[in-house]
Amino acid sequence: MGRKILFITTDQQRYDSLACNGGQIARTPVADRLAATGINYRRAHNQNVVCMPSRATMLTGQLVRTHGVWANGVPLPADAPSVAAYLHDAGGYRTALIGKAHFEPALDFSHPFPENTMALQGSTGPHRGFEHMELAMHSPVARWHYGKWLRDHYPTEMQGFFQLFFIKDGTLTMNHEGGGDTGAPQVAYNPIPREHYHTDWVADRTIAYLSSLRDDEDWFIWMSFPDPHHPWDPPAEEARRINWRDLDLPAGYPGSEEQIQKILAKKPHHWLEYYNGQVDNLEGAPGFVPQLMTPDQVREVNALIHVKNELIDEACGKVLASLAERGWENETDVFFCSDHGELQGDFGLLFKGPYHTDALMHVPLIWRPAPVAHVAPAEVPAPVGLLDLAPTFCHIAGLPVPTWMEGSPLPTAQDSKRERVITEWDSQHIDQHLRTIYRDGYICTVYEGSSEGELYNIKEDPYQWENLWDDPGSASLRSDLIADLYDHLPAPRDPKLEPVARA
């Protein structure tokens, strides 16, 4: 009998959302306890700042240009390698994914991808190496298990969620309308009881699956919460636990329209154009103009995000308590991370897109090794990536890291020799092509096909307000970082995969 693995992911959660990472609003004692007794990675980056590419990286242990999912709407090939399949086939692990998968397009209504059909077919897998899947997304659509469960048992409660999409002139359109107290975009106070909301549903279904396993079985369970991703519509009975009126504006919010314009003017042109509404950010909320967003709307969105983060933390605590009751706590490795972050008012912006800053790239990553492994708690400042997760799971299982994985097992000590981490961006909606390296405390972003770029000294400029790309004194550093970036990027997948849906 080996070590068991509980892999917890959230969707669109910032690094600084946790108290153990400097967060001062949401109460996250469960994640904080995992960090205090495990390893907290202070500089973990994703390899893409939107859902599908990042999740494909976590499943395959590969860079984006290798697995080929270069944008939302590009499905991971059916024959793509999977760490779940490897653990199951080579290590005898029982495998399950409960919650959000999103390896396949969620908004595709013409291709029968298994993620979008299995619930309606009464199936729970197997799929992509997971023996068991129960899926949930941000809205209670019945094509996923959570939505079907809610429709079958509590159909009137489906109406309280923010309606993320609607049909306009025969076209599926994202709804960016305002709600709540301030008219903030994609905000709603959901009358659903907390125990029926998808955060608690994911935890409850994880506990139910655990109860089906024998004590002597090894298992890998990916517990994947759809929150705190927009829309921001948590249960109303919990949503007021943080009063938005009591919040200060985020530290990364420049404070005035004049200051926002001044900061964004130093960045590549699409930053200011998004703020002014000259270009549409189709990766966030089409039609949303950040310039029209009021400070109170920023506060209300942040308050609801922090509420969602607290509910996730409490749900994690419920699952960990169930592990302790089974006597599994001592032999279970627990991971906690997110696929990408959220601008959340930084630079006067919301949502995500072609913006390679800490708000989107820098993600929480905590590994609490099983106590039987006798790994000392640590804080690791060296750069690591989400592509390092799959090799770490192999290491825990006592399996060799397969050659198709491009990451390496996560370091467990401060003196790691890791030097760099790379993030990429391409989109079927936005004609920007970003290649970013983090190294030696600098973020350097190349815009392929353009003379524009970004360079930031994170220690001196933690909010990335001062772009050094055109600074003569930084020219040598910029050239060195760009050369290092391309020295460590593999060749792109050929042929390039095609998108089949919007997201």
Predicted confidence at residue 146, as pLDDT, reads 98
Q: What is the pLDDT of residues 95-140, one digit of tens each?
A: 999 999 999 999 888 888 999 999 999 999 999 999 999 999 999 9
pLDDT 10s digits, 479-489: 999 999 999 99
Round to whole Å and give the CA distance between 238 and 27: 13
345: left (phi over 0), alpha (psi -120 to 50) or beta: left
User: Concatenated DSSP letters for 4-23?
Assistant: EEEEEEEES--GGGSGGGT-
Domain assignments of the chain as residue spans, ordered by start: 4-487
Q: What is the pLDDT of residue 430?
A: 87
CB 232 within 8 A of CB 301: yes
Integer CA distances (angstroms), 296 to 93, 176, 245, in order? 49, 17, 8
Ranges 53-67, 177-191, 275-289: which has the least confidence: 275-289
Note the pLDDT tens digit of each residue in 219-255: 999 999 999 999 999 999 999 999 999 999 999 999 9
Q: How far apart are CA 418 and CA 365, in angstroms?
A: 16
- Bridge partners (DSSP) of residue 310 are none
Give the pLDDT band of residue 168 (cuts 50, 70, 90).
low
Q: Mean of the pLDDT values across residues 317-344?
A: 98
Confidence of residue 415 (pLDDT cuts 50, 70, 90): confident
What is the fold of 4-487? Alkaline Phosphatase, subunit A (3.40.720)
Share of residues in the chain with pLDDT > 70 (%)? 98
**How many C-beta neighbours within 10 Å does residue 220 have?**
26
Summary mean pLDDT of the chain:
96
**Phi, psi at residue 80, to the nearest 5°?**
-65, 145
Residue-wise pLDDT for 339-357, tens only, equals: 999 999 999 999 999 999 9
The pLDDT of residue 172 is above 80: no
Judge whether residue 167 has pLDDT over 90: no
User: Is the full-model pTM beyond 0.95?
Assistant: yes
pLDDT at 322 over 90: yes
- Predicted confidence at residue 283, as pLDDT, reads 81
Please name the residues in contact with 5: beta carbons below 8 A apart, sequence gap of 6 or more: 87, 93, 219, 220, 221, 332, 333, 335, 393, 396, 397
Tell me: the pLDDT tens digits for 248-303? 999 999 999 999 999 999 999 999 999 999 998 888 778 899 999 999 999 999 99
Residue type, 386: L
CA distances (Å), origin 145, targets 137, 213, 269, 377, 427: 9, 21, 42, 37, 29
The H or E element containing residue 289 is none
The beta strand positions in 106-238, using DSSP E, are 132-135, 165-168, 171-174, 178-179, 184-185, 219-228
> Which tens digit of pLDDT belongs to each residue from 365-381?
999 999 999 999 999 99
DSSP letters spanning 86-131: HHHHHH--EEEEEE---SS-SS-SSS--HHHHTTTTT----BTTBS
Tokens matching residue 346: 């930084």
Which amino acid, one-letter code, is at 334?
V
> Does the CA dihedral 463-354-259-267 come out positive or negative?
positive
Give how far the C-alpha of residue 40 lies from the chain's centroid of Cα atoms, to the nearest Å. 17
pLDDT at 169 over 80: no
Q: Categorize the per-residue pLDDT at 217 as very low, low, confident or very high, splitting at 50, 70 and 90.
A: very high
Rounded CA-CA distance 124/271 in Å is 42
